[in-house]
Copies of this chain bind each other. A is one copy, B any other.
Amino acid sequence: MALSGDTVAILGLGLIGGSLARALRQSGFSRHFIGYGHREPSLRRGVELGVIDEFTLDLDEVLARADIVVLCAPTLVAADMLADILRRCDGRESPPVLTDVASVKGNLLAAAKDALQGEMPPNLVLGHPIAGSERSGVDASSAGLFVNHRVILTPVAGNDPEAVALVRAMWASTGADVVDMAVEEHDAVLAATSHLPHVLAYALVDALASADASEDIFRFAAGGFRDFTRIASSDPVMWRDIAIANKNALLTVMDSFTEHLSDLRGAVEQEDAQRILETFSRAKRARDEFAAMLAERGQSSP
């Protein structure tokens, strides 16, 4: 018998969890939504908005009643919560299917295995929707947030195939494009395309802000700088947690970037016009192809 996704519990009701609940209600994939978390006002607001049907502050009740539990807590909190949930579920005959939306997968897999003495919980299917918004909180949630966006699942050996199928079907019903990846590949790709750019933007703004002429520097910066540094306005706590959770993959891409930058520094110092032009031209071609691909996929450009 295929598993049911009728009752979904959202653990941590913010932009992502709220948008997922709205999308699943709209698609008819699930019919009942339970909120759980530490911030009662968000949960009350979720009921007011019709995003969830009810909420509880009792985690065991959630685990007993939900078919699918979606962990939407921040990266490092999620690892602790996941370990706690797995210990609570250990030995149950039909535990809920567990999934999450965190930006790093390796640390969660490690936390899960630690909690169960090295065993892989078959009902745990880690996932990561590549979607977001400059706004946050359940008030910003929207049923269309995942349409045309990628959701990466990282199923592993030991997973129950029915649990994987259920999580895949859940995300597909939101309009997302669901793909599978190995945990290590996910963390490497996200380190390169998301975690490194955030670290670079924070490092750049911090370097300029600490310069002697920092007031003038910001006074004369323009639109290109605004775009380039937008991600330095992201939540510092969230990004600190991601940097630590994905430490190894992040250090690897930081080192690769630093090596490229150092090469480019050499070319500028030597006024090696040909080498600078080759580097900039290669980068422009890759960036233009990327923008074209995003546009094709229906995500705005350039």
Complex CA distance for A290 and B190, rounded to whole angstroms: 28
> A180 in the interface, Cβ–Cβ < 8 Å?
no
Which of chain B's residues have a CB closer than 8 A to the CB of A226? 290-291, 294, 299, 301-302
Q: Which of B220, B233, B247 contacts A268 (CB 8 A)?
A: B247
Q: Which residue of B lies closest to A188 (CB)?
A: B213
Whether A229 is near chain B, meaning CB under 8 Å from some CB there, is yes
**Quick check: A287 and B197 within 8 Å, CB to CB?**
no
Could you tell me which residues of chain A, from 173 to 189, have a CB within 8 Å of some CB in chain B? Answer: 181, 185, 188-189
- Is A293 positioned at the interface, with any CB of B under 8 Å from its CB? yes
**Per-residue 0/1 for A182-218: is the Cβ within 8 Å of any B Cβ (1 yes, 0 no)?**
0001001110111011111111111111110110111
Query: Does any Cβ of B come within 8 Å of A113's Cβ?
Result: no
Q: Are A283 and B192 in contact (CB under 8 A)?
A: no
In the complex, A281 has a CB within 8 A of chain B: yes
Q: Bin chain A's interface residue count.
A: 35 or more
Which of A185, A223, A247, A287 gathers the greatest number of chain B CB atoms within 10 Å?
A287
Please indicate the chain B residues that have their CB under 8 angstroms from the CB of A216 in the complex.
181, 185, 189
Interface string of A230-260 (1 = CB under 8 A from B): 1111111101100110010011011111111
Q: In whole angstroms, how far apart are the Cα atoms of A247 and B196 in the complex? A: 26
Query: Is the Cβ of A261 less than 8 Å from the Cβ of B200?
Result: yes
Are B279 and A203 within 8 A (Cβ)?
A: yes
**In the complex the two chains form, what is the Cα distance from A42 to B212 in whole Å?**
43
- Contact present for A221 and B239 (CB under 8 Å): no
Contact check: which of B188, B193, B213, B230 meets A221 at CB < 8 Å?
B193
The answer to whether B301 and A224 touch across the interface, beta carbons within 8 angstroms, is no
Task: Find residues 9-27 in chain A having any chain B CB closer than 8 Å to their own CB.
Answer: none
Stretch of A53-61, A93-101, A153-161, A269-277 lying at the B interface? A269-277
The answer for the CA separation of A163 and B240 in the assembled complex, in Å, is 53
Q: Across the two chains, which residue of chain B brings its CB closest to A287?
A: B232
* Smallest Cβ-Cβ distance to A236: which chain B residue: B280
For residue A282, CB closer than 8 A to chain B, the reply is yes
Given contacts A205-B286, A206-B279, 11 further A-B contacts (CB under 8 A): A132-B222, A150-B222, A194-B225, A203-B264, A203-B279, A204-B257, A207-B260, A226-B299, A233-B302, A240-B277, A247-B271
